[in-house]
Amino acid sequence: MKQKITAFLLGMMMISMLSACSFGKDMRYEASFLELFDTASVIVGYAKSEEEFTKYSQMIYDELKVYNELYDIYNDYEGVNNIKTINDNAGIKPVKVDRKIIDLLLFSRDWYEKTNGEINVAFGSVLSLWHDHRTAGLDNPEKATLPDYEELKARNQHIDIDDMVIDEEASTIYLKDPEMSLDVGAIAKGYAVERAALFAQQAGFENGMISVGGNVRTFGNKLDDNGKEIPWSVGIQNPDLSSDEKTLYVLNLSGYSLVTSGIYERYYVVDGKQYHHIIDPKTLMPTEYFVSVSIICPDSGMADALSTAVFNMPYEEGSKLIEGLDGVEALWVFPDQSMKYSSGFQAMIKE
Amino acid sequence: MKTRNVAMYGMLIALAFILSYIESIIPIPVPIPGIKIGLANLVVITALFTMGPKQAFVLSMLRIVLVGFTFGNLSTMMFSFAGGMLSWLLMVAAKRWKRFSMTGVSILGGIGHNIGQILVAMWVINNSVLLYYLPFLIISGLVTGAVIGIVGALITANIKKLDFMKN
Amino acid sequence: MIKKSDLILAGVILIIALAAIVFINVTKKEGAVVVVTIGGDVYKTLPLDEDTTLTIGDKQGDYNVLEIRGGEAKMTEANCPDKICVAHRSIHYDHESIICLPHGVSVEIRDGEKSDVDMIAN
């Protein structure tokens, strides 16, 4: 009797210990790198072994690297026709490009129509003037200047997306207007992350998360201590960077993307006033409705595009757009730190 | 109440006081609030085996109130009550089952004492984190219970030899 | 005086308790945050890797002083009657706790991952 009970209890003990360090349980790994898209990238995920995880993260890195070069508007890469090449040849000739560029521009044009022109990749000539002033202003803060408004207006004449000719057959892009240029900054990162995530998933990477400069795409779930699948916890950056609270909300996401556009990301100071990088196509000046806008939806490219578009709209208009889209939620943070969120947002909040 | 019972009560209460005092000067190895070793349980188990369940219960409660007012306060009394009740319940049940000697009964009493107190502590702080202390408390209850059971058996045997108990 | 059934009882209980202790020890891991609760309500959550001193409550009334140093939490001062919390050793493993019963205060170590954020979108 005593022996039986002892044996039984010892058995129970062994089983509980085994399950605690259970065999074959997927382990959590993380990889990060700084080279791509001018920002920090992080890959987190679960795999059987470090080798398996490294295989996936390398795959994602390689994929993102290709997109990074193709979607670059500032740098040339040897043997690569990228968006800069297209801009350099505006008004000169069509440029033969990779299918990945054609797809991105088709996606962008699609969103131009869906947002009544709020997302316009042909807005490059205006944005580049701001970019030049911001870069110079950051290098030499005492001599920081604003772009000349007349010049902005003059450049704003060359932003017609219809002048972007996409020839899918020949796989070429041609900008008819020699003064125009493409800026895919508001959409390319998210789009590339989406593609890389889909690619990795097809390769068998089931539970992971990719963040490129805070552009977060989750797929699958994370595993808790008992190996149970639970959604990823993704925080929304508090725009008040001096606050102790790093996040405004933490969301349960599985298979969703979260992208935030905020004035704190990139800005420069002229005469004591901050000028951030999100330019309103209507006023040609930095948008002042919000301090940040976050978009949650499955497709990271869509989230990226929407975060900029909604940032540039008054709340009522943006809210109408978001509520009209399936599976899309948003959080608006106003300059007085008050917040509004879309109807399905609350259900995603963790705890 | 028979004279011998009065004498027994008086003797056992006196013993409980001494034991409670000893206990109050022994530091507890694991600093868990509200937890006492339960030396005074010796008195209760002795009463249980010499006088009966009802008397043991009365003695247990009497001890808690008197000792509480002397060495403790209302909140320590609350813990003692919970420990005392659970301990008494387990001991009476174990004794009725007739499988265990006094040592076995006392072990269950000691464990019941500790579990009762930790339950109250969990209720007070409204947090289940104290459960992690439970295995340690069970072992300490086991050890003190065993010691008390053996000592209690000696005392009981001697009391039963006393003439006035034989009537 | 001691029956066989007493020994079986003691053995079974000992094995269960030891198994639980082994289990707790095998599965224990470093905690990441310190959760302070009063009467069960979370009063403050602090990271274990940042040195801080927190006064729980008010020095005019009931108070406990919690210190986090070098990844360990300890109650350094309190005006409770029993001072059991101050006597408690430093804690740093997941689920370890220091309790101040008279004040209804619990200081608990928790694993960071559960409450922690995997990523921040910015």
Reported as type and span, the H/E element at residue B42 is: helix B41-50
Edge-first strand order for the sheet with A339-341 is A27-33, A41-47, A208-212, A215-219, A257-262, A292-297, A329-333, A339-341
Q: Is A308 annotated as a binding residue?
A: yes
Mean pLDDT of all residues in C107-120: 75
pLDDT at residue number C9? 92
Looking at the 3D structure of chain B, how many domains does it have?
1
DSSP code for A93: -
Instruction: Select from A258, A332, A323 the least CA-distant residue to A296.
Output: A258
Asked if C26 contacts C18 with a C-beta cutoff of 8 angstroms, the reply is no
Q: Kindly give the pairing relationship between strand C119-121 and strand A232-237.
A: parallel
Q: 3-class DSSP state for residue A86? A: helix
pLDDT of B112 > 70? The answer is yes
Residue A128 Cα distances to A75, A265, A277, B146, angstroms: 14, 17, 11, 84
Task: Give the architecture (CATH level 2) of A83-175.
Answer: Orthogonal Bundle (1.10)
Q: 3-class DSSP state for residue A340? A: strand
Asked if C101 lies within 8 A of B34 by C-beta distance, the reply is yes
Which of the residue ranges A24-28, A291-295, A303-307, B77-81 would you say has the lowest mean pLDDT? A24-28
Strand partners, A84: none
φ, ψ of residue C47 in degrees (nearest 5): -70, 140
Query: Which structural domain range is residue B88 located in?
Result: 3-162
Task: Give the architecture (CATH level 2) of A231-351.
Answer: Roll (3.10)
Return the percentage of chain B with pLDDT > 70, whole number: 90
Fold designation for C33-118: mini-chromosome maintenance (MCM) complex, domain 2 (2.60.320)
| Residue B91 placed within a domain | yes
pLDDT of A12 > 70? The answer is no
Task: Find, in chain C, the residue whose alpha carbon is nearest to that of A45.
Answer: C118
Best residue of A4, A10, A14, A17 to probe chain C, by most C CBs closer than 10 Å: A17
B126: domain CATH number is 1.10.1760.20
* Domain locations along chain A: 1-71+191-208, 83-175, 231-351
| Residue B131 placed within a domain | yes
Task: Find, in chain A, the residue whose alpha carbon is nearest to that of C10.
Answer: A2
Check if C22 contacts A (Cβ < 8 Å): yes
Which of the residue ranges B10-24, B29-43, C13-27, C100-114 would you say has the lowest mean pLDDT? B29-43
pLDDT of B162 > 80? The answer is no
pLDDT at residue number A170? 95
Band (pLDDT 50/70/90 cuts) for residue A29 is: confident
Instruction: Tell me the residues of A at the C interface, defined by beta carbons under 8 Å apart.
Output: 1-2, 5-6, 9-10, 12-13, 16-17, 20-21, 42, 44, 209, 211, 213-216, 222, 224-225, 232-237, 246-247, 250, 258-260, 262, 264-265, 294
| Residue B106 placed within a domain | yes
Residue B117 Cα distances to A228, C80, C84, angstroms: 34, 19, 15
Best residue of B125, B128, B147, B160 to probe chain C, by most C CBs closer than 10 Å: B125
pLDDT of A14 > 50? The answer is no
Band (pLDDT 50/70/90 cuts) for residue A180 is: very high
| Helix/strand/coil percentages in chain A, nearest 5 | 40, 25, 35
Which segments of C28-109 does DSSP mark as H helices, in order?
84-87
Task: Find, in chain C, the residue whose alpha carbon is nearest to that of B146.
Answer: C10
pLDDT at residue number A23? 47
Check if C27 contacts A (Cβ < 8 Å): yes
Mean pLDDT of all residues in A325-334: 95
Instruction: Tell me the residues of C at the B interface, defined by beta carbons under 8 Å apart.
Output: 1-3, 5-6, 9-10, 13-14, 16-18, 20-21, 24, 37, 39-41, 81-82, 84-85, 87-89, 95-97, 99-102, 104-106, 108
DSSP code for A176: S
The DSSP line for A264-316 is: TSSEEEETTEEEES-B-TTTSSB--S-SEEEEEES-HHHHHHHHHHHHTS-HH
pLDDT at residue number B29? 62
Check if C111 contacts A (Cβ < 8 Å): yes
Mean pLDDT of all residues in A136-145: 92
Which of chain A's residues have a Cβ under 8 Å away from the Cβ of C11?
A: 2, 5-6
Q: Which residues contact B3 (CB under 8 A, 6 or more apart)?
A: B164
Residue B43 Cα distances to B47, B51, C3, angstroms: 6, 11, 21
What is chain A's mean pLDDT, rounded? 90
Mean pLDDT of all residues in A311-325: 94
Residue A248 tokens read as: 């405004």
Return the percentage of chain A with pLDDT > 70, whole number: 93
Name the residue facing C119 among A17, A21, A44 (closest C-beta).
A44
pLDDT at residue number A109? 95
Mean pLDDT of all residues in A97-101: 96
pTM: predicted TM-score of the whole model, two decimal places: 0.58
